[in-house]
């Protein structure tokens, strides 16, 4: 069975490539003010975080990366399907509680939500 940390680590390289691509040219002026980002994922039994640093580098860390920008409380299986397929139609129904801690986190989540399959 995959752990939450392993799941987040497996999607980090793809997310990093997407973020870094946005940090060049005109779009960089729109994206840079939203970095860094710290998203905390809480499932039934684990907590782990995705951290995007100011250069666009993405890493997965165990526990809560402080200070968080967004906390997402979601069943593990729902998150796994969302992140591995990125197809909202395939994601099983279920709860998703999004707790924004910063305005930049809330804006970033709303922008990226559909790209994450949520």
Domain ranges of the chain: 4-116
Angle at CA 15, nearest 5°, toward 96 and 33?
A: 85
Question: Token pair of 111, please?
Answer: 């922008």
Residue 18 pLDDT greater than 80, yes or no: yes
The strands making up 58-62's β-sheet, listed across from edge to edge, are: 58-62, 47-52, 37-42, 70-73, 97-100
Q: How far is CA 69 from CA 24, 51, 104, 113, in A?
A: 23, 10, 7, 14
Q: Report pLDDT for 62.
A: 97
Domain 4-116: CATH superfamily, name plus number? SCP2 sterol-binding domain (3.30.1050.10)
Give me the helices (H) in the chain, please.
4-22, 27-31, 76-85, 103-112
Share of the chain above pLDDT 70, in %: 99
Lowest mean pLDDT segment, chosen from 60-64, 80-84, 93-97, 111-115:
111-115
């Amino acid at each position: 069975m995959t752990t939450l940390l392993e799941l987040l680590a497996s999607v980090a390289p793809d997310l990093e490539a997407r973020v870094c691509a946005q940090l060049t040219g005109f779009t960089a002026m729109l994206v840079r003010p939203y970095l860094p980002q710290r998203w905390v994922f809480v499932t039934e039994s684990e907590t782990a975080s995705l951290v995007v640093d100011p250069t666009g580098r993405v890493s997965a860390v165990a526990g809560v990366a402080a200070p968080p920008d967004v906390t997402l409380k979601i069943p593990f299986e729902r998150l796994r399907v969302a992140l591995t397929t990125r197809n909202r139609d395939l994601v099983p129904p279920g709860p998703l509680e999004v707790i924004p801690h910063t305005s930049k986190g809330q804006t970033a989540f709303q922008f990226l939500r559909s790209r994450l399959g949520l």
